[in-house]
Amino acid sequence: MFCNQCEQTAKGTGCTTIGVCGKQPEVSALQDLTIYALRGLSLVALAAREKGIIDAKIDEYTAKALFTTLTNVNFDPARFDVYVREIVAHRKALAARAGVDFSEGPAAFEPASTLDGLVAQAEIGSVTAGAEDADIRSLKQILLYGMKGVAAYVDHAAILGQTDAAVFGFLHKGLAAGYDGVARDLGAWIELAMECGRANLRAMELLDAGNTTTYGHPVPTQVPLGHRKGKCILVSGHDLKDLFELLKQTEGKGIDIYTHGEMLPTHAYPELKKFPHFYGHFGTAWQNQHKEFPAFPGAILFTTNCIQKPQASYAANVFTTGLVGWPGLVHCENHDFTPVINKALELPGFTDDVPGKTVTVGFGRNTVMSVAPAVIDAVKSGAIRHFFLVGGCDGAKPGRNYYTEFVEKTPADTVVLTLACGKFRFFDKDLGTIGGIPRLLDVGQCNDAYSAIKIASALAEAFNCGVNDLPLSLVLSWYEQKAVAILLTLLAIGIKDIRLGPSLPAFVTPNVLKFLVDNFNIKPISTADEDLKAILG
Question: For residues 51 and 62, what is the distance between their CA atoms, to the nearest angstrom?
Answer: 19
Residue 131 in this model has a pLDDT that exceeds 70: no
Amino acid (1-letter code) at residue 308:
Q
Residue 496 in this model has a pLDDT that exceeds 60: yes
Q: Are residues 373 and 484 in the same domain?
A: yes
Residue 219: exposed, middle, or buried by beta-carbon count in 10 A (0-12, 13-18, 19+)?
A: middle
Helix or strand (DSSP H, E) at 135: helix 134-159
Give the CA distances from residue 29 to residues 96, 108, 243, 277, in Å, rounded to whole numbers and listed in that order: 29, 19, 32, 42
Cα 343 versus chain centre, distance: 28
Strands 221-224 and 358-361: antiparallel
Residue 210 in this model has a pLDDT that exceeds 90: yes
Q: Are residues 440 and 514 in the same domain?
A: yes
Question: For residues 5 and 75, what is the distance between their CA atoms, to the nearest angstrom?
Answer: 15
Q: Are residues 227 and 209 in the same domain?
A: no
Q: Which of 453, 425, 452, 428 lies closest to 438, judged by CA?
A: 428
Q: Are residues 87 and 149 in the same domain?
A: yes
Residue 109 in this model has a pLDDT that exceeds 80: yes
Give the CA distances from residue 130 to residues 26, 77, 233, in Å, rounded to whole numbers and listed in that order: 21, 25, 47
The pLDDT value recorded for residue 161 is: 97
Question: For residues 265 and 293, what is the distance between their CA atoms, to the nearest angstrom?
Answer: 20
The pLDDT value recorded for residue 130 is: 65
Q: Are residues 376 and 334 in the same domain?
A: no
Q: Which of 165, 172, 164 lies closest to 192, judged by CA?
A: 172
End of a domain among 162, 193, 213? 213
In the DSSP assignment, the letter for residue 230 is: B
The pLDDT value recorded for residue 132 is: 75
Q: For position 404, which CATH number holds? A: 3.40.50.2030
Range of the domain at 229: 222-346
Q: How confident is the model at residue 93 (pLDDT cuts 50, 70, 90)?
A: very high
Q: Is residue 16 part of a domain?
A: no
Enumerate the H helices of 293-396 as residue ranges: 338-346, 365-370, 372-381
Strands 358-361 and 330-332: unpaired
In the DSSP assignment, the letter for residue 107 is: G
Question: For residues 214 and 212, what is the distance between their CA atoms, to the nearest angstrom?
Answer: 5
Question: For residues 156 and 64, what is the distance between their CA atoms, to the nearest angstrom?
Answer: 9
Strands 255-259 and 414-419: unpaired
Q: Are residues 324 and 435 in the same domain?
A: no
Quote the Cα angle for 202-30-307, to 5°: 65
Measured over the CA atoms of residue 528, residue 530, residue 534 and residue 537, the dihedral's sign is: positive
Number of domains in the chain: 3
Q: Are residues 109 and 169 in the same domain?
A: yes
Q: Are residues 411 and 451 in the same domain?
A: yes
The pLDDT value recorded for residue 380 is: 94
Largest CA distance in the chain: 70
Q: Is residue 375 part of a domain?
A: yes
Stretch 28-57: mean pLDDT: 98
The pLDDT value recorded for residue 119 is: 97
Model pLDDT for residues 364-417, shown as the tens digit of each residue? 999 999 999 999 999 999 999 999 999 999 998 777 999 999 999 999 999 999
Q: Is residue 352 part of a domain?
A: no
Question: For residues 485 and 370, what is the distance between their CA atoms, to the nearest angstrom?
Answer: 29
Amino acid (1-letter code) at residue 153:
Y
* pTM confidence score: 0.97
Residues contacting residue 445 through CB under 8 Å, at least 6 positions apart: 238, 262, 265, 419, 420
Q: Is residue 75 part of a domain?
A: yes
Q: For position 200, which CATH number holds? A: 1.20.1270.20
Give the CA distances from residue 146 to residues 353, 371, 379, 535, in Å, rounded to whole numbers and listed in that order: 44, 34, 35, 28
Q: Are residues 130 and 104 in the same domain?
A: yes
Model pLDDT for residues 449-473, shown as the tens digit of each residue? 999 999 999 999 999 999 999 999 9
In the DSSP assignment, the letter for residue 391 is: E
Q: Are residues 185 and 249 in the same domain?
A: no
Q: Is residue 15 part of a domain?
A: no
The pLDDT value recorded for residue 396 is: 84
For residue 139, the number of C-alpha atoms closer than 13 Å in the C-beta half-sphere is: 25
Q: Is residue 414 part of a domain?
A: yes
Q: Is residue 201 part of a domain?
A: yes
Q: Are residues 37 and 168 in the same domain?
A: yes
The pLDDT value recorded for residue 107 is: 98
Stretch 203-211: mean pLDDT: 98
Model pLDDT for residues 148-197, shown as the tens digit of each residue? 999 999 999 999 999 999 999 999 999 999 999 999 999 999 999 999 99
Q: Report the C-alpha dihedral over residues 419, 420, 425, 431, rounded to 10 degrees.
A: 20
Dump strand ranges (E) for 316-420.
Answer: 318-321, 330-332, 358-361, 386-392, 414-419
Q: Are residues 336 and 468 in the same domain?
A: no
Burial 390-420 (b: 16+ CB within 10 A, else e): bbbbbbebeebebbeebbeebeeebbbbbbb
Q: Is residue 7 part of a domain?
A: no
